Structure 1
Amino acid sequence: MNAALKATLAPARRACGGLTVRVAGETCVLRCSGALWIPAQGTLVASDLHMEKGSAFAVRGQMLPPYDSPATLAKLEAEVEALQPATVVLLGDSFHDRRAVERLGEADHARLARLAQGRRWVWLEGNHDLEALAGALDRLTGEVVTTRQVGALRLIHEPQAGDGAGEVAGHLHPAVRVAAHGRGVRRPCFVTDGQRILLPAFGAFTGGLDVRDPAIAGLFAAPPLVAALGRDKVHALDWGRIT
């Protein structure tokens, strides 16, 4: 990491294995789960849960294990239990398609309701779940918005053109290939230059787009920090060493 980027981000290791960085001057914790914690605002952010992706494939005859929603919600429950956030923001594409809320099981609906109890719960609209959220306000706890300002940060699903000052976005599912145990491993990752940050997909059944793809790399005027998710640690990677 070059000196200017290091000075902007002021990265620091957390006891939880996460990595603290500054984005637009706001202290953010990159969690091993792929969630973003904004401690000064008491806000937990997770992007691209894509709940009911498995059942969406099943409808089309492609059989995947029907456990993605429970697995994703278990991750979210663990983060809420650990951090006790005042606000949870789901950064769009929380559901895989327009009928996903209907297919979500009653037990999982109850889990969502319990998680939202006693805190502010915000659903950001994504390209996959725009219709799902619009038609399901009677079944979901919380509010539906297009963007949300949290301190110095502007939360939105799809990254926007321009300098992106303070932007926190998802949508692109960034991933990076790293060497581990003598072989290449593809891992979800955060990407940030200290002005904007892209979050990895939080869902259990989500693919990833290589960080070198122009859709991601083109958002940053200078090489950003890539922070790959490990089992119990977020690993900071120098852009120049990514293969």
Structure 2
Amino acid sequence: MNALPFPFRGETLHALPSGGLHWPARRLLCVADLHLGKSDRMARRGGPMLPPYESLDTLDRLADDIAATGPSEVVCLGDSFDDLAAGRDLAGPVRARIAALMAGRRWIWVLGNHDPGPVDLGGTHLAEYRAGPLVFRHIAEPGAAGEVSGHYHPKARVTLRGRSLSRRCLLVDSARLILPAYGTYTGGLSCDRPELATLMEAGAEAILLGPQPVRLPMPR
């Protein structure tokens, strides 16, 4: 796995090609915005019909990251389910896969705006989670320090070797990290949009995801 190590708040964290965040010293794996059950939620609300395979595909990638990093705790940064009904109505194979991934490790479900309450899947459900110098929550808060969040699904458009590319990215400055969406059917918000450009410090960087993550100044 071509993880990219980088310093943050006195710790060394690893950006994974998948969009996950690994904290080796803590044996912690963090992922944001799984949006499990999105195809079900869209069908239920009369939206476009999507193939109902995204949940298992997302969990397959999460299983790969767990196998590669061997975490003792996993933190899911909110919007793990596309809504609370999707969390309650997960198909049997999806529930079984989640249970297998949770076995033998601490599992933290941080509450998000799509899933503001607990679902019956075990684990610990928290508004936010503090570990050492870091605080894990779904949506970034003004004035935070050592914050790891999701919600915005950041992506960046850059030109590499003469080609214009749009990639999911992790944003980092001296105070906060914003993780990309991990789920299969999740879109993205360009990091030059005001919501992100005004939130991140002037010297912020973007870590572009791909087989080999690339760190560069945050495009604005």
Aligned 1:69-84 pairs, distance under 5 A: 69-84=55-70
Q: 2:92 aligns with which of 100, 106, 111?
A: 106
Q: 2:193 aligns with which of 189, 200, 213?
A: 213
Q: How far did 1:209 drift?
A: 0.5
Q: Give yes or no for the alignment of 1:46 onto 2:46.
A: no
**What is aligned with 1:229?**
209
Q: Which amino acid aligns with 2:189?
A: L
Q: How far did 1:27 drift?
A: 1.2
Asked whether the 8 Å contact 1:159–1:167 carries over to 2, the reply is yes
Separation in structure 2 between the aligned mates of residue 180 and residue 107 of structure 1, nearest angstrom? 40
Separation in structure 2 between the aligned mates of residue 169 and residue 180 of structure 1, nearest angstrom? 27
**What is aligned with 1:18?**
3
Q: Which amino acid aligns with 2:170?
A: F
Q: 1:155 aligns with which of 136, 143, 152?
A: 136
> Residues 221 and 101 from structure 1, CA distance in 2 versus in 1: closer, same or farther, beyond 3 angstroms?
closer
Asked whether the 8 Å contact 1:26–1:151 carries over to 2, the reply is no
**Which runs of no fewer than 5 residues in structure 1 stay unpaired?**
1-15
**Which stretch of the first structure deviates more once superposed, 40-49 or 21-30?**
21-30
Q: Which amino acid aligns with 1:117?
A: A
Q: How far did 1:183 drift?
A: 4.1
**Which stretch of the first structure deviates more once superposed, 175-184 or 151-160?**
175-184
Aligned 1:177-188 pairs, distance under 5 A: 177-179=157-159, 183-188=163-168
Q: Which amino acid aligns with 2:79?
A: D
SS in 2 for 1:185: strand
Q: How far did 1:23 drift?
A: 1.3
Give me the TM-score of the superposition, normalised by structure 1. Answer: 0.86
**Which runs of no fewer than 5 residues in structure 2 stay unpaired?**
none
CA deviation string 1:135-157 (max 9, x = no partner): x2xx3020100111122111111
Give me the TM-score of the superposition, normalised by structure 2. Answer: 0.95
Aligned 1:188-199 pairs, distance under 5 A: 188-199=168-179
Separation in structure 1 between the aligned mates of residue 175 and residue 142 of structure 2, nearest angstrom? 13
Q: 1:125 aligns with which of 111, 116, 127?
A: 111
Asked whether the 8 Å contact 1:173–1:207 carries over to 2, the reply is yes
Q: How far did 1:45 drift?
A: 0.3
